Structure formats: C-alpha cells, structure tokens
A = this chain, B = another copy of it.
C-alpha cells in the first residue's frame, strides 16, 4: 500500500480552507474525493503539511495519500487533476513517499508570503490575492519592526484563540518586508507557525507601516505574551503557503 507525496497549488477563494468542514467545500474534500475515484470509490484519507484557513492560497502545499495500488506518479497526478476539475486546485507533482515520511510531521520548514497592495485604487487584477491598504505604508519601518520577532519566543501575542498547538513557543527564522512598486511582500519562514500567526504579525506590522505604532512597540507586544497587546489579524486573501521543507525532499528523485 504505497504512500504518495503530492505537491498542490490552490486558490483559497473558493474553499472553506484545507480542512473538511460541514459548512462548505474544503481542499481536503476535493482531493480525497478525487482519490476515492482511483480507489474503487472507497474513502482515501490525506494528511497535509499546512492546514491553511479559508481564503488562504497555496503555491506548493504538500499532502500525502495512501492508495492501495501502484500508480506511476505522473499518471496519479493526471488522474487526480482530472477528477478535481473544475475546482481551483491542482496537483503539481506526485512521488512515492520515502519510508517513514509524513507530510505533516516530517516537515522541518514552512514558508508563507503575504502580499499587501498599497495604493489608492482597489485591486482589479489582484482582487482576492492581496490585502488592499489604501494609505501609504513605510515598508522599511515594517521590516525593521519585523526583525524584533525573529528567533525563539512565546508567540502568545500573535496566536489565535482557537489555536490547538500544545505550546505557544515557536522559532521564527525569517520575516522580511520588501516593497516592489505598489506591492509590499512579507515573507515568513519557520519550522511551524501557530494558528493565525503570520496574519497577526502582518496586521501588527501594518500599524507600524502606517505610523500608528513606533517600531519598538512590536517587540514589546511580543514580550507582553498577550493577544490583546498585538494588532488585528490581516485578512486571509493576502496569504499564500509557498513551500514546505523536509530533511529529504520527496519530490527529487
């Protein structure tokens, strides 16, 4: 019974998030129902590296499925993509997983990118893909403030109330804020993130960017270990899961 690793791309707009919900269509449901077609209709379970929220996109999500038959990875890819139509999710790559590999627990790094469209006019082409902030933001100040969050900390101030993680301690490896024209990109990398952590950090950095907060207040908000000390949660549509790292990359054979 081979275990397959899948790399997925999806537009979060049409989904209630990765995880199955009673109130709408999830990416997990679309994937598992497509996989069931390859399993004589019997249910197929999946495990995912990053359980993205409703509206959050993925450029390179990684999931695993068990299938009780051997399929060439390219055939599996094409078959899943056929059955997942017309939903905005596709398998980019498939591979037979290395022994003992798990999409979630073997992951040693997750990378996210958050995009802000910083201009007066609402987005026409980037609608649903960016957080539209009409007032000018100081991206350099946001970047300086972001550096105060790097390293190993109790991230309670940036953790959603609904977060199910056992510990609020996380190690943030990268939080870079750069401007490219009217788009500001925030790139975040860590072994793992708390629920809403990236969006809460971005919502807080935006307060610095607009001048409401001085740069040092972000580090103070972190030290407070109190969700009320940090800024609001940025909206999901600006966020994309851009990559997952493993000690052995299942997709390079």
Contacts and interface: CB of A to CB of B under 8 A. Distances in A.
B9 A120 contact: no
A11 B125 CA distance: 5
Contact of A124 (B11, B123, B129): B11
A91 B121 contact: yes
A125 B9 contact: yes
A16 interface: no
Interface residues of A, number: 24
Contacts of A121: 9, 77, 81, 90-92
Given A92-B119, A119-B92, A124 B10 contact: yes
B89 A124 contact: yes
Contacts of A89: 124
Contacts of A57: 125
A20 interface: no
A88 B127 contact: yes
A78 interface: yes
A182 to B, nearest CB: 9
Contact of A77 (B11, B77, B78, B120): B120
5 contacts: A74-B120, A85-B122, A88-B125, A90-B121, A91-B121
**Which 9 residue pairs of A and B lie closest in terms of their CB atoms, listed nearest first?**
A90-B121, A9-B124, A88-B124, A90-B124, A10-B124, A92-B121, A11-B124, A89-B124, A11-B125
